[in-house]
Chains A and B, each alone.
Chain A
Amino acid sequence: DIQMTQSPSSLSASVGDRVTITCRASQTIDTFLNWYQQKPGKAPKLLIYAASTLQSGVPSRFSGSGSGTDFALTISSLQPEDFGAYYCQQSYTMPVTFGQGTRLEIK
C-alpha cells in the first residue's frame, strides 16, 4: 500500500498568515492527490483534486501544488473559518490511502 505522510501533525497560526501543509507519498503517484478539510463533528469536504485543481465553491485562498511524491496545500491568508483537520489522499492505486491528518488551530 502507498503510505501518505503529512506534516506537521498540528499547527497553530494567526488570521492572515500564510499556511502550508505538506504531504509525501511513499512512491510516485503522479498528480493523483486530493485534499480534504474536516470540521469537528462534520464530514470531510473536498478542497483540491488532481494536486492543484480547486473544487467548485472552494475559496481561492486555497491552492495545491506538487507531483510525484511531494505535495503541498497552501492557504494564502488564513481565515477564522479555516480551522479543522486537513487530509491528503492518493487516488493513484487501490487501496486509496489517506495521510494521518493535520490539525489547524487559529491563534
Chain B
Amino acid sequence: EVQVVESGGGLVQPGGSLRLSCVASGFNFISYEMNWIRQAPGKGLEWVSYISSTATTIYYADSVKGRFTISRDNAKNSLYLQMNGLRAEDTAVYYCVREVTVTDNFDWWGQGTLVTVSS
C-alpha cells in the first residue's frame, strides 16, 4: 500500500527554522517526482516546492524562494523541506505529495503536518 508520512511540524517563533520530513513506502520512490503543498488554516491549496526524481531539477514558489530548501534521499525513501526565516504567513498544514510525471497530477498525498509560526 502506498503511504507517505510527514513529520517535523510544530510551533516556531517568527524568524525560526524547522525541518519537515516525509517517508514514503509502498512504491518505487526513486521513480517519482515529489512536491510540498501547503494549506493555511481555512484556506485553499498552495504549491510550495518541487523536486525531480534524481534531484536535478528543483522549483520553489516565489513566496518561499531563498528561505526554504527541498531535498530528498532516495536511499531512505525520504523527502525533506528545510524552512528558515519563518513568517506568520507560513503557518499551514504541509503535505508531502507524489507527482505522476506522465499525466502531470498529484496522485498521492500524505496526511500533512501542521507548522505554526507565532510568538
A, B co-complexed: yes
Tell me the A residues contacting B by CB distance below 8 Å.
Answer: 32, 34, 36, 42-46, 49-50, 53, 55, 87, 89, 91, 94-101
Could you jot down 24 A-B contacts, CB within 8 Å? A32-B104, A34-B104, A34-B105, A36-B45, A36-B106, A43-B109, A44-B109, A46-B106, A49-B100, A49-B105, A50-B104, A50-B105, A87-B45, A89-B105, A89-B106, A91-B104, A94-B59, A95-B59, A95-B62, A98-B45, A98-B46, A98-B47, A99-B44, A101-B45
Is the pair A100, B44 in contact by a Cβ cutoff of 8 Å? yes
A44 contacts which chain B residues (CB < 8 A)? 45, 95, 106, 109
In Å, the complex CA distance between A101 and B44 comes to 6
Interface of B is mostly: strand
In Å, the complex CA distance between A47 and B62 comes to 28
Count of interface residues, chain B, beta-carbon cutoff 8 Å: 19
B104 contacts which chain A residues (CB < 8 A)? 32, 34, 49-50, 91
Tell me the B residues contacting A by CB distance below 8 Å.
Answer: 44-47, 50, 59, 61-62, 95, 100, 103-107, 109-112
Report, nearest first, the 4 A-B pairs whose CB atoms are least far apart.
Answer: A91-B104, A43-B109, A49-B105, A98-B45
Is the pair A49, B112 in contact by a Cβ cutoff of 8 Å? no
In addition to A44-B45, A44-B95, A98-B46, 20 A-B residue pairs with Cβ atoms within 8 Å of each other are A43-B95, A43-B110, A43-B111, A43-B112, A44-B106, A45-B109, A46-B106, A49-B100, A49-B105, A49-B107, A50-B104, A50-B105, A55-B105, A89-B105, A91-B104, A94-B50, A95-B62, A96-B47, A98-B45, A98-B47
